Amino acid sequence: MELFCFVRVFIFHKMKHIFFFLLISFSALAQIEKVEPPFWYEGMTHSDLQILFYGKNIAQNTVLVSNGVVIKSVQKTENQNYLFVTIDTKNVTAQDLVFTFKNGKKSFTKKYPIKKRKTNSKERKSFDSSDMVYLIMPDRFANGNPNNDSTVDTQEKGDRKNPGGRHGGDIEGIVQNLDYLQSLGVTALWSTPLCEDNDKVYSYHTYGQSDVYKIDSRYGTNEDYVRLSAEMKKRNLKLIMDYVTNHWGAEHWMFKDLPSYDWFHQFPGFAQSNYRMTTQFDSNASERDAKYCMDGWFVPSMPDLNQSNPLVVNYLVQNAIWWIEYADLDGFRVDTYSYNDKEGIAKWTKAITDEYPYFNIVGEVWMHNQAQISYWQKDSPISKIQSYNSYLPSVMDFTLHDVFGNVFNEDNANWSDGMIKFYENFTNDFLYANPNNLLIFAENHDTNRLNQIYKNDFKKYQMTLAILATMRGIPQLYAGSEIGMAGDKGKGDADIRQDFPGGWKEDANNAFSASGRTELQKQYFDVTAKLFNWRKNKAVIHSGKLKHYIPENNVYVYFRYSDTENVMVVINNNKEKQIIKLDRFKESIQYYKSGKDVLSGMTYDVTKEITVDGKSALILELN
């Protein structure tokens, strides 16, 4: 009996010690709540990997790593919950590294995966002037999985009745409609951000991100995003991520527990940006004005990231590279590029293009002057004056967008109105380092809708499309243009971001299907698909030279040509038909005798004169 009692007491004490040990171990492991990047890849140019370990008082630990990997630095901030550990991965092959964290006699370990890199990942090709980029807002495109319209880990729930609410569009909806994109002539997809935005309201635009390593659960999962990329690759479609470097959302976990006071711009706290991007290069600008442009917050719910902080820039660099590698991306569109700290954003851009030399990045530079837009393009002749280089390969051609916004309503041409606006826009191409790598567009998710401006005048849409499909640069179409969708920005953003008809099972009208389109939708879709499918294989449009002629009688004529091909484009912005005498274009027409119109299929004699209907376009392949 005594022996039994002794054994029972002994076992109790042993179990108590084991339980205490397990409790300590669990507590230690619980210290690490996040590791970012969650894993990395072998063979990266960015081999000095800075890993963020986050957890309660994690900085009180010393750190070791397995397999002889060199820890180059351990950086702490004023917040003890953060530890930035930089390791050299230059010669590290795919494996699980083991980090050991010690605090006195207590210690615990954490595995960190180094994964095998995709073959030829560094040399990946990107989107370029051979592509047609299709822009979608995923919440408004198609609801492929109604089960994730509302999720437990996000605050705002699905409510399609609310014009500015979450409507349920998701990654699965995109996957299900990839065939539609192909039939339209799309070759690259730009989706507005898909990472988590946990704002209480107005979160569908997803530009106020709360976790930049996690796809918003209302769109799907990280694995769903990877699957989208893979499904697109099967169809030779390219995936462009909308990346936000300037700000995060106020619900971001790092904003709620700041790594350091200067991780975000502080005034202290919020101060509104003055939105005057000219202060970035204005030699006469006051320091205060320049600061409030770069450092001011876009809106109170979007704290402004401090790209002059090396930890912030490196975090953004690694996050961007991680997404490219993990999701096999083909390009970036960068939101509000010219609001960033210009030296910091240049470092970010160069780091990415050093890793991927052929990777295209287009920056949103919403300005209304070619020299000012040019300033932000890589190797710009304008920014060289100030010895600045953004390293940004592509910028958005907002001055061309401005022309599209009113020119086809200007029936009576004069010295400054009508088609002369297009001509004058392109005369300034000499200001750009690479005008063929500009993103050209007539509308996007932030502007008034084209079909609203032109009251669904199909002829004006057709003229717009003719220029987008044949002019230098990379054409971008906003979802719904191709079926005549309109929307008035004056009524609010929700009106220019309406749901695509047919993306929800309850929709009576399904514009994704040829049989489901109305007559108006069919008319718009057919001409769009015809032009952009034709464009896919026209090298002369992708990379040929441009020669244009001063407009006369509101008629603009230009040629895209190479040594082997020649395309003549005629845009008649008159209400009345025009007879165009062709002797003025002899240097471009040369020995060609006829031209076949891409739109109508008709053949025109180009030796003397041609007749062009009012408010119409000809795209003549010369023979």
Q: Is 364 a catalytic residue?
A: yes
pTM of the model: 0.94
Per-residue model confidence as pLDDT tens digits over 597-618: 999 999 999 999 999 999 999 9
From 335, 341, 443, 621, the catalytic residue = 335
Rounded CA-CA distance 31/463 in Å is 61
Per-residue model confidence as pLDDT tens digits over 490-545: 999 999 999 999 999 999 999 999 999 999 999 999 999 999 999 999 999 999 99
Domain for residue 578, yes or no?
Answer: yes
Domain for residue 476, yes or no?
Answer: yes
Domain for residue 609, yes or no?
Answer: yes
The answer to whether residues 426 and 462 belong to one domain is no
- State mean pLDDT over 208-220: 98
The answer to whether residues 499 and 561 belong to one domain is no
Report whether 431 contacts 374 (CB < 8 A). Answer: yes
Give residue 265's pLDDT band: very low, low, confident or very high (50, 70, 90): very high
Query: Structurally, how many domains does the chain consist of?
Result: 4
Report whether 149 contacts 143 (CB < 8 A). Answer: yes
Calculate the alpha carbon distances from 45 to 56, 123, 126 in Å: 32, 12, 18
pLDDT at 412: 86
| 40-41: strand order across its sheet | 40-41, 106-115, 95-103, 62-65
Calculate the alpha carbon distances from 490 to 275, 494, 495, 504 in Å: 20, 10, 8, 26
Give the closest residue to 560 by CA, choosing from 465, 437, 467: 467
From the DSSP assignment, how many helices (H) and strands (E) are in the chain? 16, 26
Per-residue model confidence as pLDDT tens digits over 452-485: 999 999 999 999 999 999 999 999 999 999 999 9
Q: Is 335 a catalytic residue?
A: yes
Per-residue model confidence as pLDDT tens digits over 402-414: 999 999 999 988 9
- State mean pLDDT over 430-435: 98
Beta carbons within 10 angstroms of residue 191's beta carbon: 23
pLDDT at 617: 98
Parallel/antiparallel/unpaired status of strands 106-115 and 40-41: parallel
pLDDT at 30: 53
Per-residue model confidence as pLDDT tens digits over 127-172: 999 999 999 999 999 999 999 999 999 999 999 999 999 999 999 9
Mean confidence (pLDDT) of the chain:
95
In the beta sheet, which residues pair with residue 556?
A: 571
Rounded CA-CA distance 32/359 in Å is 34
The answer to whether residues 45 and 149 belong to one domain is no
User: Is the predicted pLDDT of residue 196 greater than 60, yes or no?
Assistant: yes
- CB burial of 379-397 (b: ≥16 within 10 Å; e: otherwise) equals ebebbeeeebbbbbbbbbb
The answer to whether residues 357 and 234 belong to one domain is no
Per-residue model confidence as pLDDT tens digits over 372-402: 999 999 999 999 999 999 999 999 999 999 9
Report whether 529 contacts 185 (CB < 8 A). Answer: yes
Report whether 544 contacts 565 (CB < 8 A). Answer: yes
The answer to whether residues 259 and 354 belong to one domain is yes
From 196, 197, 295, 364, the catalytic residue = 364
Final residue before a domain boundary, out of 497, 517, 536: 536
CA angle 287, 288, 289 (to 5 degrees): 95
The answer to whether residues 355 and 258 belong to one domain is yes
User: Is the predicted pLDDT of residue 559 greater than 50, yes or no?
Assistant: yes
pLDDT at 24: 43
Domain for residue 606, yes or no?
Answer: yes
pLDDT at 31: 84
- State mean pLDDT over 560-580: 97
Task: Tell me the residue range of the domain where 377 lies.
Answer: 245-264+306-396+398-437
CATH of the domain at 351: 3.20.20.80
The answer to whether residues 416 and 319 belong to one domain is yes
- State mean pLDDT over 288-308: 96
